[in-house]
Structures are given as structure tokens and as C-alpha cells.
Structure 1
Amino acid sequence: MMAEVRSHFRPEFLNRLDEIIIFHRLDREALRCIVDVQLRRVAERFAYRDLGLEVTDAAKDWLAKRGFDPVYGARPLKRVLRKELEDKVALQILDGRFLDGDVVVVDADVDALRITTTGPITA
């Protein structure tokens, strides 16, 4: 690898580098882990409104697919979550469709997330 680096960069530049780290493309399992971490953060925010969150595997796969870019990795995932989940839930709260104590259920078909509620959280 260093031979390849030396063939592209001048010694003056290479002298300024402390380390070279190789990043591999994210695989499906890594993407799902990132989706799970981000969904936990969304669930924590929903909990402030006394809303629960249930997300199906189909929805997680949909989010992983839409939230991944070959160039940027999983960086677009937060935007996808905000636009496709958080913003839509916020609008439904404002419309009175979701009430404090409801469980937000997220599923997906080919084109979009489906966001519904199962009603109040049961203990």
C-alpha cells in the first residue's frame, strides 16, 4: 500500500502524515447497526413526548438502503430519518393523530415508510 501512496504523493506531503487508515465499504450488517443506533436516538426523543417506537425489519432495511451513499457512506441516514420519519411523525402529532402515550409503528413497502400507531403504551 505504501508503494501506491508514494507513487501518488510527494515526500513533503507524506512527511506530514502520522498514520494512514484504510476504510472499507460498509456492509449490510454494519449499516443495520448504524440504523439501530440512530433509531435509538429517535426513540429517546420520542420518549420526551411519551411516544413509543417500534420499527420493523423491513423499515430498517428501507432506511439503510435510502440512508447509504457509496461516496458518503451512512452520512445521509440522519437526513433520511429526519425527513421520512421524524418530520412525518411531527406533522401527525400536530394533526392530533398521535397522542401522548401512543406507540409509533414504522413499517415499509417498496416506495415509502408506513407510519401508524397501536394506541397507548401498555405496561
Structure 2
Amino acid sequence: MQLDKFTIKTQEAIQQAQQMAMEKENQTIECGHLLTGMFAVDENVIPFLFKKLAINLENVKAALDRIVNGYPKVSGGKLYIGNTANEALSKAQTVMKEYGDEYVSIEHLLIGLLKVKDAVAQLLKDSGLKENELKKAIQELRKGEKVTSQNAEETYNALGKYAINLIDKAKSGKL
């Protein structure tokens, strides 16, 4: 796997997943480790997408913790990537190509996790995450932009991050 084809945020998420698997004495890096790593390093993309799709992030995190804590513990031995996590990363690379992007970003990996058959994918689906709706929300987040740099996630929805929507404030009576 070529990590140079992943955005910085996605690389950090994979590193977090690896660190977590080691700390929890898991022999394999699984999808639960990847998603937990994504939650740890991403403050913009997943929260925006989950809010847009009315998915309760805290409930997903709590259920994810239960999944990760259920992974088998093995002391000693070499750490390697599990088959399902590897499949999710591979699917993320396929999604990247479908989008015409140059790097695998957090949202590609989220779709990749949704496309595999394991407890994490089932958790995401049970939480209300649907691939077609997720892709629409990603388009809204990106506003037509492509992932052409390793820092692409930092540029998404910049106006939403750094500006106050006065129209929304007025509608809610908070102006």
C-alpha cells in the first residue's frame, strides 16, 4: 500500500489505528481501529457529514468502542492489517479513482468502511449511513473540489468553519 497516495489526515488516521491496535494488544489492525483513528484526527469532514445525515456521532463512537474492545488480544507477535481493513483501504482507493481524485481522503475511507462486510460497516448502516446519501453529502462538503493535495480536507467548507451564517442566525432568532 502506498501511503504517499493518502492525504495527511488519512495517514494520521492509519497511524492512530496502528497505535490503538498495539495499545490494546490486538494482533491485527481492523476496521474499528481505522474508524476510531479517523474520529481521533478528523474534526471537520466526518462531523459535517454525520450532522448533515442526522447521524448521532456520540452513539456511533460508543458502539464502536464496544466493537474495538471485543477484538481478540494477543501478547507479543507482529502487528499486521486485517483482511477486512485491507479491503476497506482498497475500496477507498477505488472510490478515489471514481471521484477523479489524486489522494485517498477521509471521506473515501469512510465509504470504503461502509462497503465491507463486518461489524463496523453494520454499525454505520444501522446508524443510518447510506452510501448514496453519503456521496451526496460529500459533494455538498466539497463544492465540486477534487482531492489534489495531501491537505485537501483542510480546505473543505472553509466558509462554514470560519464564518458565521447570519441568515441562519436571523431565522433562529439569535441575531
**Shorter-chain TM-score above 0.5:** no
Greater strand fraction, Structure 1 or Structure 2: 1
The two structures have a TM-score, normalised by structure 1, of 0.33
Larger radius of gyration: 1
The two structures have a TM-score, normalised by structure 2, of 0.26
Q: Quick one: higher RCO (CA 8 Å, sep 6+), 1 or 2?
A: 2
Greater helix fraction, Structure 1 or Structure 2: 2
